[in-house]
Amino acid sequence: MALYPQQFIDDLKSHADIVTVIQDYVSLKKVGANYKGLCPFHGEKTPSFQVNRDKGFFHCFGCGVGGDVLKFLELHDKVGFQDAVKLLAQRFGMTLPQLEQTDDQRTNAAERETLLKIHEAAAAWFREQLASPAGARIRAQVADRGISPTTDNAMGLGFAPPARDALKQALLKQGFSQALLLRAGLLVERDDGRVIDRFRNRLMIPICRDTGSVIAFGGRAVDADQQPKYLNSPETPIYSKGRTLYGLNLSKSGIQQGGFAILVEGYFDFAQVHQAGYQSVVASCGTALTPQQAQQLRRFTSKIVLSFDPDAAGQGATAKSCEMLVAEGFDVNVATLPAGEDPDLYVRRHGRAAYGERLKESRPYLEYLLDRVAVLHDLQTDEGRVHFVSAMLPIAARIPDAAMRDRFADRIAFKARVTDEVVRAEIRRAAVQKQSTVRNRANTGFGQVTKAEKGLIWWLIHEPAPALAALADLEPIDLEGLAAREVLDLARKLNEDRGFSPSVLLERLNMVEAQLVTAVASESEPPVHDVESCAHDIRRLRLEREFAALQRSIEEAETTKSVDRETVVTRLLEERRYLMQRIAGLKFSTN
CATH code matching the domain that covers 248-345, chosen among 3.40.50.2300, 3.40.50.920, 3.40.1360.10, 3.90.1150.10: 3.40.1360.10
Confidence of residue 585 (pLDDT cuts 50, 70, 90): low
Inter-residue contact 519 to 446 (CB < 8 Å): yes
Domain ranges of the chain: 6-91, 103-239, 248-345, 376-434, 443-591
The stretch 96-117 carries a mean pLDDT of 77
Residue 201: partners with Cβ closer than 8 Å, 6 or more residues away: 160, 161, 162, 221, 222, 223, 226
Cα separation, 343 vs 262, whole angstroms: 11
pTM for the whole thing? 0.61
For residue 60, give the H/E element and its range. strand 57-60
Residue whose C-alpha is closest to residue 269's, from 180, 216, 348: 348
User: Would you say the C-alpha torsion 63, 71, 284, 127 has a positive or negative sign?
Assistant: positive
Is 2 a residue whose pLDDT tops 50?
no
CATH superfamily of 6-91: Zinc finger, CHC2-typedomain (3.90.580.10)
Residue 591 has pLDDT above 50, yes or no: no
- Residue range 59-75: average pLDDT? 89
Task: Say if residues 170 and 179 touch (Cβ distance below 8 Å).
Answer: no
pLDDT of residue 276: 97
CA pair distance 506, 564, nearest whole angstrom:
53
Strands 261-264 and 303-306: parallel
User: Is 403 buried (19+), middle (13-18) or exposed (0-12) by CB count in 10 A?
Assistant: exposed
Q: Would you say the CATH fold of 248-345 matches that of 6-91?
A: no
Question: Which of the four pLDDT bands, split at 50, 70 and 90, describes residue 24?
Answer: confident
CB–CB of 459/533 below 8 Å? no
The overall longest dimension of the chain from CA atoms, in Å, is 85
Is the pLDDT at 306 greater than 80, yes or no?
yes
Summarize pLDDT for 398-416 with one digit per residue, the tens: 777 777 777 888 888 888 8
pLDDT, position 419: 76
So what CATH class is 443-591? mainly alpha
Given a contact cutoff of 8 angstroms between Cβ atoms, the answer to whether 123 and 93 are in contact is no
Return the CATH number of the domain spanning residue range 103-239.
3.90.980.10
On the question of pLDDT at 382 being above 90, the answer is no
